[in-house]
Every structure is written in structure tokens, then in C-alpha cells.
Structure 1
Amino acid sequence: MLKTIALDSTRLQRLQQTPLWDFAIALYAKPGVEEACLSLQEEAGLDVCEVLFHCWLYASGLEATPSALAHQREQRRLWQCQVTEVLRGLRRDLKATATSNDSVKALRETIKQAELMAERENLQRWQTWACEAQNHEQRVANIADMPQDVAKWLLNQLLFSQSADPGSGGSNEQNGCFHSLQTLTYQLDPQQGAR
């Protein structure tokens, strides 16, 4: 983690003026981002909502404080496991049948919309957590020095305090994860490609 400095109210106001859902939709629509997010989800086991949350913070020059992040991460993980992943599993299970059965196709589409609503709710909970901290609790802080390599910064944010060992995956998996993070961060900061 990079050293942080006292929270700048201008950065926090900028964050509060950009809803996480709107930010996520805009970022997700950029070239390569959808594929990168799906790769991070499927191959690296990362929570795309958390990835987008850290990107949203970065765009305002902020980062989550490690001590506060651990509990929230667990709450969001539970939501993903108990709600979003259940819906995703149902949607995937119906895929084959939906190709030849119109009523199953309609049901699958309804489940797909519910899955999207679950993701939106999860993002809303991340946003509320970051923006509505009590005065005595600092959940976000300024990034003291903007990182030269945003993909590495993002990887550190995502792997900090996680139970998974970041070195346990094979080098191909790590390279794919890092490539996906580079795709994401290039869309956040196009100057990354020029450095």
C-alpha cells in the first residue's frame, strides 16, 4: 500500500458527485473492459464489483484504507456468494434449454436482469460504505503519490488482506490477470500506455 495523506474534501466531493453505478457503466463500455472484467472474474476469481470500486476511487485520487476495507470486503463477498452467484448459476444452467424453448429463454432473461440488479445493489453498497463513513472512521484516504503503474496499484488494492495467496496461481494465470488489469487501468488513465 502506498502511504496516504489526510483526506482531501475536494476529492471526496468529486467521488460523491460521480455515482459508482454510472462510473461502472461508463468504464465497462470502453474497449476491452468487459472482457478484462470477465477474465478477472472467471480466471482470477476477483469480484468485479470490487475491481470497479477501486477504479472509481482511483479516478478521484483516493484509495480504501486497509483497516476498514477488510470487513466491507467480507460483507460484499457474502452478497456475491449468496445472491449474485446464485442468479448467475441459474442463468448459466438455463442457457442450453433457452435456445430451443421460448418460455425458458424469457425466464433466463428475467434472471439475467435480476443478476444485473444484484450487481447494482452491490455497487451501491460499496458506494454508501465509502461516502457515508462516520467522522471518527476514515474509510478512504488520498493516494499520497499517484502510482506510476496503476495496474500494480490496483492489484495491491485487490489482493490486500485477501485469504487467497496471490502467488498460488500459475504464471499464465498471473500474466492474464495483470494483462486484464492493464487493460482496465489504461481506460482509467490513457497516459499509462505512454509511460
Structure 2
Amino acid sequence: MRDSNTLDSTRLQRLQQTPLWDFALTLYATPGVEAACLKLQDEAGLDVCEVLFHCWLYSCGLEAEPKALASQREQRCLWQCQVTEVLRGLRQDLKASASESESVKALRETIKQAELMAERENIQRWQAWAWASSSDEQRVVNVVEKSPDAAKWLLNQLLLDQGSHQAEDGTKEKNEWLCSLQTLTCQLDPHQGAR
């Protein structure tokens, strides 16, 4: 259920006081989260930046408005495909030869840093998009009530308006994804400071 009323000012203020990059680094460093994110990326084809973005919103008692989310998701997906994934592929391709050559090892480390910068840029674009929410185009809305299963809530957010294979995958795969998402969502306290 979505709240059609104006955003709760406390929730929006908390969102604006919590930089997404800082939130993402803290959450990602929590035991089990990195492995869960990589599993979601590799096996479910989910964008880790978007996963962290939805976790950030949820921790502030907010969620993305589906219609507004669709175009932003498309832009962020293009960035990931054209920039981040290219760098990741180069880094992975150099892994074997990096063990045999110090210069290739140094090059691989430089590419790894560029990949991290690309991820940070993507995260910052997600943040800017959410912060630019206005009454003309409301991009984020209040989560009206805390979901009894935050992992299912997060999966639904990630699969909103996606016509990809993810929506058609079997129950076994979704249960595995939910297990990974549970690792993330158990770290979140929705509506904290926004009651």
C-alpha cells in the first residue's frame, strides 16, 4: 500500500542527511553482505548499486515510486553496462596474467580503482535522483507500514516493471535470492528516527 500524502519530512530529512555512498560502504562491510551482493549480481543479474539504493530508502522509511523509478533504472543500467561492467570484465580478464607480471598486476589494480569509481558515480546518481524528488515528480514515497518480510519487499522493489528473465525464474532461484536479500535486510531498521 502506498501513501499518497506528502512525504514525511522527518524521513526525507534523514534521507538527505545520510549520504548513500556512506550508507552503502557501511552496509557492504557488514559480515555476509558482500557475498550476498555478489551472489545477487552474478546469479540473479541484479545491480548491486540499485540493491543498496533500495536498502538506503527502506532504512529511512521510504521507497521508490514505480513510474519514476523506471526511467532512472534504465539510465543506471546503461551506465553499468557501458562503464562498470566493461571495467569489471577487463579486471577479471587480467586476473591470471596479473599473477605472473608486476606491471599487469599494477594495471589490474588501477582498473579495479576505476571500477570502484564507476560504482561510486552510479551510487551518487541514484542519490541525486532521490534527493531531487519534488511535488511535481514525486520519486520517493513513504513506506506506509513496515513489511513483515523486508527481503520480499526488497525483491518486489527490484523486480518492479522489469520484463527480464528474473520475473519468470522458478521458486528455487527466488528463494535463494530471498536468502541473500535477507542477509542485507536484517541489517536495516526502517523508520528509525522517523516515527
* TM-score, length of structure 1 as denominator length: 0.93
Partner of 1:3: 2
Distance 2:101 2:166 in 1: 43
Distance 2:43 2:166 in 1: 13
- Between the aligned residues of both structures, percent identity stands at 70
Tell me the CA shift for residue 187 of structure 1: 1.5
Deviations for 1:41-84, whole angstroms, at most 9, x for unmatched residues? Answer: 00000000000000000000000001100000000000000000
Tell me the CA shift for residue 35 of structure 1: 0.4
Q: How many residues align?
A: 189
Alignment map for 1:15-54 (pairs within 5 Å): 15-54=15-54
Partner of 1:150: 150
SS in structure 2 opposite 1:43?
helix
Q: Which moved more, 1:160-169 or 1:113-122?
A: 160-169
* TM-score, length of structure 2 as denominator length: 0.93
CA RMSD, 1 decimal: 1.4
Partner of 1:168: 168
Q: Which moved more, 1:2-11 or 1:175-184?
A: 2-11
Distance 2:116 2:168 in 1: 31
Off by >6 Å, runs of 4+ in structure 1:
none
Structure 2: which 5+ runs fail to align? Answer: 191-195
Distance 2:146 2:134 in 1: 26
**Is the contact made by 2:15 and 2:57 (CA closer than 8 Å) also made in structure 1?**
yes
Amino acid paired to 1:133: S
Partner of 1:74: 74
Partner of 2:115: 115
Distance 2:189 2:182 in 1: 10
Q: Which moved more, 1:121-130 or 1:167-176?
A: 167-176
